[in-house]
Structure 1
Amino acid sequence: MTLMIFLVMFITESATEKLCPLRASIDVLEGEYFFLCFPESMLHFETEGYTINWYKENAGRQKLIKETQRIISQMNFLEFWPAELSDSGNYSVTHRQNFTIQKWTLNVLERNKSSCFNKNHLTTEIQNAGTGHSLKCSDLSVNENDSVTWYKDCKNYENETERELDFKTLTVQHSGIYTCKIFISHNGRIYHSTSTIKLVVEEDAPEAVTLEIVGRDEEIETEIGKEEILNCTGFLGYDMQEDASLYWLINETFPEKCSDIPKNDPLICEEEFKKLHLGNKFYVTRLLRIKKVRDEDLHHNFTCKLQADEAVQIKIVKLKKGNTRDLPVHLFTTGMILAVLLPCIVIAMTVVCVMFRVDLVLFYRNICRRDDTAGDGKEYDAFVSYLKDCASTSEEEREFALKILPMILEENFGYKLCIFERDVSPGGAVVDDIHSFIDKSRRLIIVLSQNYISDTAIYELESGLHKALVERKTKIILIEYMPISDYNFLPESLSLLPSKRVVKWKKDKSLPVNSRFWKNLRYLMPAKPTKSNTKGHCNNLDLGSEGTQPWTGGCDCNAVI
């Protein structure tokens, strides 16, 4: 029985010795479980009880540590559940009459929020490829049932859960940063402790390599008068050989040095010797600059020589006259693409301009505030001619001519219209008045329908046609108020007007002030700055239940009005 107790005490003491390395300075991550401890073998057991006191240095004085729910003292252990940044400092433990057993400096490192480890809290292990190796998790837990998870570069590594990570044969691909995370249960909560190892796997030192010139003998196509730069590079192996030399010969003759003759600029010269270190390989290089290729250069041998110890390597370069170079592929491709795209772009822009000609012109007028009416001596922007024969009158047409047309053009777009029935006082000579008012107007708007056959309307039309076609003083705008299938009732001279000066009214579809009808009409009207208080829609017109309101004005069938 005594022997059994002794063995248990020996095993416990050995385990404690293993868990409590004598380190003066210790680093730990915030938020993790950690403990300070010392081997029980450092205590001198006596028959009487003894007291262990833990201290932390505060403002140069030792302050006794009192237990809390987070910091617990158990004989030779001081546990942190978990460690916090404020725990950093100098610690010591005493026994009996203030006999100091051990001292530590504890550094609590701030956790990296964007990574699973802190670069200051890792160890580095360097191993050679091809050998077996094992990464050991720094065990801060006594309970072997605590779960373990391994990470490589902060990603779960092959679901490994053992305390040791074994590699039977290391390769360079095994290099990385491995993090071991132990989960520890305490008072119903789960804490964790991590240790991070940076594993560097190096390849075995390469065998000695014979020096050689990179590339084989070659012929370079060139042109007379062109500049050529010949490059010669030699591979020296994995150690820089100080006695290595690399140089050019032109038909067994040394060329001039480019840096030796600053004033006399030689046609062919040799650049300075350069050493290169790429990875673990060493190179030397030298350029031969031919500033203008001559005919005689096509018959020369340009020889590059690499010498180190007694080994010699050579490479011969010759120049030959090449065929006339074709256009570079990228330039040819770019040219073809442009040749195809440009016509497409031009056609597309032309189509857009034709389709949106009216919108573009109106936009230009608004931007430039263009005004074609200033200083031309005209009083009205347009004279409105429509059917006035009461025998076949159309109330909708009269409503359109006397109310809708002036409301939109005058109130929304600032035009001034002359409507005989509205603006001319009765009693005058009708023919003379019509001729006079058309002469004062910049446009003649004719509201055209099958009923446009009255004597007065025909006179207005013929007078306007005379001014448009003969005197070229007034432009005519035809509004096709109702669809017309036969224009034989109109004067033959009307066919001489451009078809683009006809605007078709489509009832409700044309009512909105931003409809295509009003845009086309404004396009044919003289340019004039638009009022800022333009209304968005003419639906505010009271047109009755059927869309039109009967005209209540009087009508003298024997007169214009």
Structure 2
Amino acid sequence: MTLMIFLVMFVMESATEKLCPLRASIDVLEGEYFFLCYLESRQEHFQEEAYTINWYKESAGKRQLVKETHRIASQMNFLEFWPAELSDSGNYSVIHSNGKQNLTIQKWTLNVLERNKSSCFNKNHLTTEIKSAGTGHSLKCSDLSIYENESITWYKDCKNYEHETERELNFRTLTVQHSGIYTCKILISHEGRIYHSTNTIKLVVEEDAAEAVTLEIVGHHEEIETEIGKEEILNCTGFLGYYMQEDASLYWLINQTFPEQCTGIPENEPSVCEEEFKKLQLGNKFYVTRLLRIKKVRDEDMHHNFTCMLQADESTQIKIVKLKKGKTQDLPVHIFTTGMVLALLFPFVVVAVVFVFVMFRVDFVLFYRDTCRRDDTAGDGKEYDAFVSYLKDCASPIEEEREFALKILPMILEENFGYKLCIFERDVFPGGAFVDDINSFIDKSRRLIIILSQNYVSDRAIYELESGLHKALVERKTKIILIEYMPILEKPSVPHAGKAYQDKDQRAL
């Protein structure tokens, strides 16, 4: 009895192996019956510990448990779609759980292709086989269902082909006329409804014998220059020929050890991981490719052999990639050029800034004071910003000179700019000693504004000029601002600056 059970299970497992090719990426047409299946090792049949089987779908970065519906059903090692829809596209996985740990058995990427309403097939859902004329060949209808007694029909270029109903379409001798697109259609009855599943093959028969194609890995052994801490992605691509070989496998080894699979989640990604196996078709040539992702190159990675292996039709090809520390790279050209341009422009920019500052220094100072609300003269003990010295009697035949000193100058400096002026006739009370008052108010002022004219240098106001020059040149207590209101024909007899210094030294003695 035990032997009988073992034989039955062995037969079931053999059938499962036949129906479950190891394909990481699968394409299927919408509206067709389809199934996913996985293989269990023989030891799992005899495990005494109970476990559960759950199917999951990952879409948009979220993994959700696949629940059975009237359209999606789980049976033994199979997940069936009655039928497949566009929304079924995504990444699928099957997980065994015994309540203590979860074990991922297999993963797939399912692509549900939109049906071409004007044709019986989708150009993205076919395989190409290139054969030479004069040879025998057979087209095989892939295992599209797990049920028996299905009805099989073959079509050539979407027309019924010679009423063939066998799973294989045999050609004793191929001719160019046999070229075409062949589609096998399987009808399946389920719960009173008829579903179908198709497989399409493009057969190309060439008149002359085609050149023999050798399985090979694109590129040769290589060394890649890199740096510690840098991310590196190693690419391995294998050329299969002019038709897709379903038994082809491509994988990486690190010192004869299999790397972990990439999870797609950056924070949980292993330091070195292998991307999913992908198939490519460029024209009538077929390729397989797989990436090895090194998150951050370590020093020990420089001593590893990263080996890519391609296997198909009992043939094996390898490619070895090694990492080595690269030479220190020169400064990039665009950065060097930018630096040189900036270095050449910098002196011109400095000169321009200095020129603008010199030309508008007063405006900058006023703007600074207005913006920061700061006055550098606060606390210097001065009461006035400037003492205005001008012609004080009516000796001047031009009245505008006094009007400039008493009206225009205060209106501009006091009312518009907020300076405080000391004007003798306005701010000094009468009755005091003239000379003492003049010296006192000049000492209280930060500047001495002298409005020069021919009448001014001929008047007694010349004393204010002499006193101001003495304080500016000898005592260095104030600064003088000269305004030539009218041209001076005769030079005033003002003591020379050197004489003023000499007088000061004599007084000191």
Same fold (TM over 0.5): no
- TM-score scaled by length of structure 2: 0.45
- TM-score scaled by length of structure 1: 0.41
